């Protein structure tokens, strides 16, 4: 902006067009492109991050994404019966299916999609504010703060949390179309499009259901333009709310209730303590959110759920602060509509994550992605007002943007630094342990990571040392939460690594008793360890293994790990037909996993079919190269021996070494 130009007028106006005045030296398109480029550059390092947190459940081991021909199950009760991840967010599942089919599991491309979605949300926010009539300096400042807000690090850096980005993008586009419709002489041709976009937003994440109320508030306050007639506003708001109604009905149809988690889910803290302590703590949580948005300190990838009493000083102070803020926003609706929009709008968007409805996590940084939209508008307004006073008092027009720029630089710097907490699971859980030492999940996950890191270690001393460290984390996790499945899983993995099959099976059974869902890997471990139980007859071991396997395959038919374990079990039990069937299904559900391919190759060699093994390998080159090199070398040696026994004339043409001449 020209330093000599007067400060922009931010008070409510009656301008009918959101476009800048002809005298404005800046072109909105250029400003938008420049700011989006700046935000993109800050986020660029995330292209080197891996897949972390729930990415393993929703992307890596989610076999449903690999079978698009079975998408029909997503829109039937079978979605719940088959435990399709995120079935109550059908739009998100469809997006994940499409992105996997196009991008595979390459983390760089998935992070690029998340960054692009966030930039799309920023552009959609700018478009909506312009449609409402906001001046350039305000919509640009709001968009910049939102794009660089540090509390958004989790939502952007974790691929499986792009549900927040998708919901915000589609929801803001719905608001923009609705704002265009309300100003058009023929509003109703645009109303169906707005309703469809709102439906898409809610299909990504149900918290987007609050966006129509924010739209209605913004249009009713009309900070920059004349308010439109109430019947038209209510009519379009109703069209936007159709999406929320449709998804609510869909969830009720699938789960028989409004919550997909179930009221008796032990993973919900409200199940353990009741609603009152959860709501009391929620007042403290939301005041903490406000602090983290304004001053980005205390951000964490993990928070420990806890309750509070309504008569505690912290609860009373937090409740008084939030209530005072809300009352101020309502009281100043006429005199300061922007303040009302920022404050009341934030309260509206925070309602879905205020723990009124049960959630598995009471608090998470990503929950503030949508509620921060109006907060950023308020912060931009305040910093521009401060800049205007500063520029006037010091007679330095160039200081107009100084407070806004300082806040944006602070947020961007903390955003870039905080995002690195999510570059790998090891980094994530190390930070989580440091910032939330009372988290049983962080302790148990660390233990499992340590155990997994020693699967191929041949140094017995080092292996014993690392397993002892893992055991300490398992013990700590169990002390923190003795009724949580992850500590039991940690102990089960530890016992399996030590080949203590009796203890491993006992711990897997304990984990299954405590776990309400996501039990595929527990049932797989239970079935696998049953075959090696000491002091049991062969028939008993077989029955125990098949019982766990049958339940697992019935409840989690899209789990590649379960099908892989099923193949191994039937292989050991001498049933090659079923073993081949499950190995092939596992390879279909997770073509990136090398284990099913190696197991099927081994089975073909056991059956005396080395040439068939060579053809199978040639059909899956990337899977073969992704498998463990030591296991590949052993199979090559086995295949050569099998060729000499069963197909000596094919030794030269069927040797596995010659399949991929460029193999490292």
What Å distances lie between residue 382 and 55, 377, 385, 404, CA to CA? 38, 9, 5, 9
Integer Cα distance of 321 and 260 in angstroms = 32
Query: What is the pLDDT at residue 630?
Result: 85
| Residue 269 pLDDT exceeds 60 | yes
Sign of CA dihedral 440, 442, 443, 447: positive
Query: How far apart are alpha carbons 243 and 192 in whole angstroms?
Result: 11
Residue pLDDT, tens place only, 439-478? 999 999 999 999 998 876 778 889 999 999 999 999 999 9
pLDDT in tens, 365-411: 999 999 999 999 999 999 999 999 999 998 888 899 999 999 999 99
Cβ atoms of 399 and 391 closer than 8 Å: yes
The band of 659, judged by pLDDT with boundaries at 50, 70 and 90, is: low
Above 80 in pLDDT, residue 661? no
Q: What is the mean pLDDT of residues 645-658?
A: 67
User: Which residues, 6+ apart, have CB-to-CB distance to 260 below 8 Å?
Assistant: 87, 88, 251, 254
Q: Phi/psi zone of residue 647: left (φ > 0), alpha (ψ -120 to 50 degrees), beta?
A: beta
Q: Please give the average per-residue pLDDT across 99-106, as a whole number.
A: 94
The closest of 148, 621, 214, 614 to 419, measured between CA atoms, is 148
**The pair of three-digit structure tokens given for residue 590, joined into one six-digit string:** 């997770």
Q: pLDDT tens digits, residue range 400-447?
A: 999 999 999 999 999 999 999 999 999 999 999 999 999 999 999 999
| Band of pLDDT at residue 5, cut at 50, 70 and 90 | very low
pLDDT tens profile 596-631: 999 999 999 888 888 888 889 888 888 888 888 888
For residue 410, the model assigns a pLDDT of 97
- Averaged confidence pLDDT in the chain: 90
- Would you say 419 and 46 are in contact if contact means Cβ atoms under 8 Å apart? yes
- Mean pLDDT lowest for which of 128-142, 304-318, 535-549, 632-646? 632-646
Indicate whether 548 pLDDT > 90: yes
Residue 512 has pLDDT above 90, yes or no: yes
Q: Does residue 648 have a pLDDT over 80? A: no
Euclidean distance between CA atoms 538 and 531, whole angstroms:
8
Q: For residue 633, what pLDDT is reported?
A: 86
CA distance 32 to 126: 8
pLDDT at 66 over 50: yes
In tens, the pLDDT along 569-590 reads 999 999 999 999 999 999 999 9
pLDDT attached to residue 598: 92
In this predicted structure, the answer to whether residue 15 has a pLDDT above a threshold of 60 is no
pLDDT of residue 359: 87
Cα–Cα distance measured from residue 380 to residue 361, given in angstroms and rounded to the nearest whole number: 30
pLDDT for 278-310, tens place per residue?
999 999 999 999 999 999 999 999 999 999 999
Whose structure tokens read 């937003």? Answer: 201
pLDDT beyond 50 at 120: yes
Q: What is the pLDDT of residue 97?
A: 96
**In the chain, what are the domain boundaries?**
28-422, 593-664
pLDDT value of residue 626: 83
What is the reported pLDDT for 651? 66
Contacts of 35 (CB under 8 A, 6+ apart): 122, 140, 143, 144, 147
pLDDT for 380 equals 96
d(CA 560, CA 562): 5
Q: What is the pLDDT of residues 21-40, one digit of tens each?
A: 444 567 999 999 999 999 99
């Amino acid at each position: 902006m020209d330093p000599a130009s007067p400060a922009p007028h931010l008070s409510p106006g009656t301008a009918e067009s959101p476009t800048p005045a002809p005298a404005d030296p800046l072109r909105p398109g250029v400003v938008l492109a420049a700011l989006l480029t700046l935000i993109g550059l800050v986020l660029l390092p995330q292209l080197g991050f891996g897949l972390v947190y729930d990415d393993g459940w929703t992307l890596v081991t989610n076999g449903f994404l690999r079978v698009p021909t079975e998408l029909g199950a997503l829109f039937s009760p079978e979605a719940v019966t088959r435990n399709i991840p995120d079935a109550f967010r059908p739009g998100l599942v469809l997006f994940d299916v499409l992105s996997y089919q196009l991008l595979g599991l390459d983390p760089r491309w998935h992070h690029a999609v998340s960054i692009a979605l966030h930039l799309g949300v920023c552009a959609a926010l700018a478009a909506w504010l312009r449609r409402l009539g906001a001046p350039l300096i305000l919509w640009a400042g709001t968009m910049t703060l939102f794009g660089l807000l540090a509390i958004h690090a989790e939502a952007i850096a974790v691929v499986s949390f792009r549900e927040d980005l998708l919901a915000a993008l589609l929801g803001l586009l719905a608001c923009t179309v609705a704002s265009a419709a309300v100003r058009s002489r023929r509003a109703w041709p645009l109303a169906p499009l707005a309703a469809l976009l709102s439906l898409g937003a809610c299909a990504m994440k149900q918290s987007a259901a609050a966006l129509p109320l924010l739209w209605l508030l913004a249009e009713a306050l009309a900070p920059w333009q004349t308010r439109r007639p109430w019947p038209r506003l209510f009519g379009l708001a109703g069209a936007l709310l159709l999406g929320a109604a449709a998804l609510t009905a869909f969830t009720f149809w699938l789960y028989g209730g409004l919550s997909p988690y179930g009221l008796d889910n032990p993973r919900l803290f409200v199940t353990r303590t009741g609603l009152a302590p959860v709501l009391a703590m929620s007042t403290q949580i939301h005041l903490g959110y406000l602090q983290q948005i304004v001053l980005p300190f205390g951000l964490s990838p993990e928070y420990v759920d806890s309750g509070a009493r309504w008569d505690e000083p912290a609860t009373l102070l937090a409740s008084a602060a939030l209530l005072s803020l809300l009352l101020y926003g309502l009281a100043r609706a006429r005199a300061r509509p922007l303040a009302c929009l920022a404050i009341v709008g934030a309260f509206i968007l925070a309602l879905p994550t205020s723990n009124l409805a049960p959630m598995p996590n009471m608090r998470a940084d990503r929950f503030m992605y949508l509620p921060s939209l109006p907060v950023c508008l308020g912060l931009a307004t305040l910093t521009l007002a401060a800049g205007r006073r500063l520029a006037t008092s010091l007679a330095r027009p160039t200081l107009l943007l100084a407070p806004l720029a300082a806040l944006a630089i602070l947020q961007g710097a903390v955003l870039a630094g905080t995002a690195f907490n999510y570059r790998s699971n090891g980094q994530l859980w190390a930070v989580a342990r440091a910032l939330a030492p009372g988290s049983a999940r962080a302790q148990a996950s660390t233990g499992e990571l340590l155990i997994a890191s020693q699967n191929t270690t041949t140094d017995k001393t080092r292996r014993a040392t690392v397993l002892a460290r893992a055991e300490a984390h398992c013990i700590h996790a169990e002390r923190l939460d003795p009724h949580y499945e992850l500590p039991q899983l940690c102990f089960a993995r530890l016992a399996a690594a030590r080949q203590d099959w009796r203890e491993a099976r006992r711990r897997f059974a304990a984990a299954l008793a405590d776990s309400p869902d996501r039990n595929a890997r527990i049932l797989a471990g239970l079935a696998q360890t049953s075959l090696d139980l000491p002091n049991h007859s062969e028939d008993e071991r077989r029955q125990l293994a098949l019982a766990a396997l049958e339940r697992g395959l019935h409840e989690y038919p899209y789990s590649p790990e379960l099908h892989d374990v099923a193949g191994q079990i039937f292989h050991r039990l001498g049933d090659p037909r079923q073993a081949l069937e499950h190995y092939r299904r596992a390879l279909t559900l997770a073509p990136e996993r090398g284990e099913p391919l190696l197991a099927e190759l081994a089975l073909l060699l056991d059956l005396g079919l080395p040439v068939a093994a060579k053809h199978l390998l040639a059909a899956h080159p990337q899977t073969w190269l992704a498998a463990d090199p030591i296991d590949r070398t052993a199979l090559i040696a086995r295949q050569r021996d099998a060729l000499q026994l069963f197909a000596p004339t094919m030794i030269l043409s069927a040797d596995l070494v010659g399949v991929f001449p460029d193999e490292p």
